[in-house]
Amino acid sequence: MKLGNYEFKYGLSLAPMAGYTDSAMRTLAKRYGAEFSTTEMVSAKAVTFGDAKTFSLAAIREEEGPVAVQIFGSEPDVMAHAAEILLAREPNEGFVRPFAVDINMGCPVNKIFKNGEGSALMRDPELIRKIVLTVRGTSPVPVTVKLRAGIDGENRNAVECAMAAEDGGASLITVHGRTRVEFYSGRADREIIKNVKKSVHIPVIANGDVTSGEEALAMLRETGADGIAVGRGAVGNPFVFAEIRAAIFGESYTPPSLGERIDTALEQLRLSVREKGERVAVVEARKQIAAYFTSFRGASALRASINRAESSEEVKTLLSYFAKANGENS
């Protein structure tokens, strides 16, 4: 699968998730086998206003790459201008430009939807076409799109929206197989992803419910998609990318030990501290650190303790006690 200057062997990526797919998570996804990833979504309007926090969300370190920057909005000209600004920024030492611009057309959150952004764009395929066309007109890199199955069960129009995006010049489409009203409940509909793949001539990435190599193979087989985007299945589990790669190549896979999980969780925290500073990083990383250990004895108590932790050293001490309680030195 070719996208811009990159050739991806199996289209394995980390899906964008607000509040999760920061630089630390993207770096670990890359280390364990993700071929590319996407930033947390950033507001096109906020970019044009020069908001510093928004620019920090869009910053990409070289070690993460390649990474697409995801923007959301509803005004074609504003979104095109935002993309232009983000792509024109001079990289600082250790930072690089995004290799693609991804347009969010799948966010189900109420405050985004009510503004006519995110998944609300799927109400108007012609607006989708116009947004992609306008952004594509100013972008020197590929423009990609993230869709859902539709708004609700009566409006499952991912095929129509995907065709509109392709007509506007999109280079790739990712489809989450749930409607907006489903959020993350139930099971992702693989049939609609299959129908999108049959209806367009550009690569299609399947997204939804992939948490193992076996599920990734089933998703590829049942949808005919060109690749897999893993979102929630990678939270506290960057190892899933190594597992999926092994499954694709028919190789054996050894799950990580508790010690490796602890080391990786602490590495994620270290990377986060580097980007955000100690106080912010510890607070924001709590939910991800705890997710590394959900299948182990004492995980609930550990989660409660980590949620009260205020420093990296405190988290490290808690994980050391947790390892000993589970019969492993760390």
Residues 5, 9, 15, 20, CA torsion sign: negative
The residue from 248, 277, 306 where one domain ends is: 248
| One domain for residues 225 and 263 | no
> Is there a contact between 272 and 24 (Cβ–Cβ < 8 Å)?
yes
Please, what is the Cα angle at 256 between 251 and 258, to 5 degrees? 165
Other beta carbons within 10 Å of 169: 17
262: which 2 tokens?
Answer: 């602890």
In a domain, 227, yes or no: yes
Indicate the burial class of 19 (C-beta count within 10 angstroms; 0-12, 13-18, 19 or more): exposed
- Asked if residue 66 has a cis previous peptide bond (ω within 30° of 0), the answer is yes
Query: Is the per-residue pLDDT at 330 higher than 60?
Result: no
Average pLDDT over residues 6-25: 95
> Is there a contact between 162 and 199 (Cβ–Cβ < 8 Å)?
yes
Q: What is the pLDDT of residues 94-139, one digit of tens each?
A: 789 999 999 999 999 999 999 999 999 999 999 999 999 999 999 9
| One domain for residues 194 and 292 | no
Q: Which amino acids are annotated catalytic?
A: 107
| One domain for residues 240 and 300 | no
| One domain for residues 183 and 212 | yes
Q: What is the pLDDT of residues 220-249, one digit of tens each?
A: 999 999 999 999 999 999 999 999 999 999
In a domain, 170, yes or no: yes
| One domain for residues 151 and 86 | yes
| One domain for residues 105 and 191 | yes
Run of H or E including 314: helix 312-325
DSSP assignment letter at 239: T
Domain that holds residue 296: 258-325
| One domain for residues 185 and 274 | no
The residue from 212, 229, 248 where one domain ends is: 248
Average pLDDT over residues 185-206: 97
| One domain for residues 195 and 275 | no
> Is there a contact between 198 and 224 (Cβ–Cβ < 8 Å)?
yes
The residue from 206, 227, 248 where one domain ends is: 248
Phi, then psi, of 14 in degrees rounded to 5? -90, 120
CATH number at residue 17: 3.20.20.70
Q: How far is CA 143 from the centre of its chain?
A: 16
In a domain, 148, yes or no: yes
Please, what is the Cα angle at 144 between 4 and 121, to 5 degrees? 165
- Long-range contacts formed by 50-59: CB under 8 A, 24+ apart: 55/89, 56/275, 57/22, 58/86, 58/98, 59/23, 59/95
| One domain for residues 219 and 320 | no
Q: What is the pLDDT of residues 301-329, one digit of tens each?
A: 999 999 999 999 999 999 999 999 898 76
| One domain for residues 155 and 242 | yes
pTM of this prediction? 0.94
> Is there a contact between 159 and 130 (Cβ–Cβ < 8 Å)?
no
| One domain for residues 233 and 298 | no
Number of domains in the chain: 2
Residue identified by tokens 């969300």 is 57
